[in-house]
Structure formats: structure tokens, C-alpha cells
Amino acid sequence: MMRLAILPALLLLPACSLFDNSDPREGVEEQSVCIERYIDTLNRQNRNLLIQSQDMVVPVFTYDVTKMDLEAMTALMVEGSDQSAGIRLTQQTNELSTAVARFKAEPADEKGAFFLGHDPALYRVRGEAIALDQLLGAACDRQQADMRLVDLEWVASNQTEQTDGADAAPDNETGN
């Protein structure tokens, strides 16, 4: 008799996740969880590069900041950051997916640029030169509460020295 009462309860456990309204972009994400989540999106070649290569690169980080509150997002903004980049691209393309793709293709500098007003809201920023095998850890360390790493690109650091750093577009794309 007891077994018959337990069986329906066990069958309902997997359905509990269907009613879970939580957003995985909310809250604080531990570095190890961030690394595991992001590395699962990579192909084997890019995964091996990020784990084994000690080449010096200049990264561009893209974070989903949709769930960040205004105060936390304002703290990311520095003098000269581009707060209207996403708005301009959305107005030019009149298509959200095209605007997001163009935003991600735009060069980023150390002041950062924002794609705001939509889901996803994005923040792109160029980091300092770093060894490739330390890049993913650094990207996840930069993450704040309600912020998630969604894309990571880089160029060899010697390439940015040869060209104007702000105009150098990343050529080794490893994200989604």
C-alpha cells in the first residue's frame, strides 16, 4: 500500500522542473560553474586552445546583463563607454537578431559598449593581454551578480600592437 503512494510522487519529481520559473542568468555564478558552462559550448579545438595554449592574447568579453539592476549596470559604465551602440544598431537594422549580430561584430575597447533595451542586454569590453590558458578563468572572474559570460573572442597580442588597438577586430571567435 505504501509503495503505491510513493510511486506517483516519484513520477512527479521530473515534472517539477517544468514549473521552475527561475532564470539561470540571475544570481551569482561561481567561477567553476561559469567555466564549465562556457567550455561545454566550445568545440574540441577551441576547448584545447583555452586549456593548453600559453600564447598571449587580447580578449573581448561579451556578457549578458539582462538581469542586472540599473545601479550595477551603471557601475560598469566608465567615461567614454558606448551606451547607445545597441540602440543605434537596432534602429539601423530594425531586426533584433541582426542588431545583436552586428553589435557582437563591432570592435570593442576597454571602456565597453552596451546593447540595452532588449533581451538580451549585452555588455562587450576588451580586456588586457593575458595568456590564453588563463583567459576563461579571467572572463568568469569579471562576471558579477546577474551577469553571464556569453561570448569570448581574442586576437594575438602582437596583432594589436601592429594595428590600432581599438580598430583590431578579433579573428579567433570561440563563442556562440
Q: What is the pLDDT of residues 80-115, one digit of tens each?
A: 787 778 777 777 777 888 888 999 999 999 999 999
What pTM, to 2 d.p., does this model score?
A: 0.75
Q: Which three cell numbers stand for residue 157?
A: 597580442
Neighbours of 91 (CB within 10 A): 10
- Backbone torsions φ then ψ of 43, nearest 5 degrees: -80, 170
Low-confidence ranges of the chain (pLDDT < 50): 5, 7-13, 15-17, 163-176
Distance from C-alpha of 166 to C-alpha of 176, rounded to nearest angstrom: 23
- Backbone torsions φ then ψ of 113, nearest 5 degrees: -140, 150
Whether the CB-CB separation of 116 and 129 falls below 8 Å is answered with no
Query: pLDDT tens digit string along 64-77?
Result: 999 999 888 888 88
44: exposed, middle or buried (C-beta count within 10 Å: 0-12, 13-18, 19+)? exposed
Distance of CA 40 to the CA centre of its chain: 14
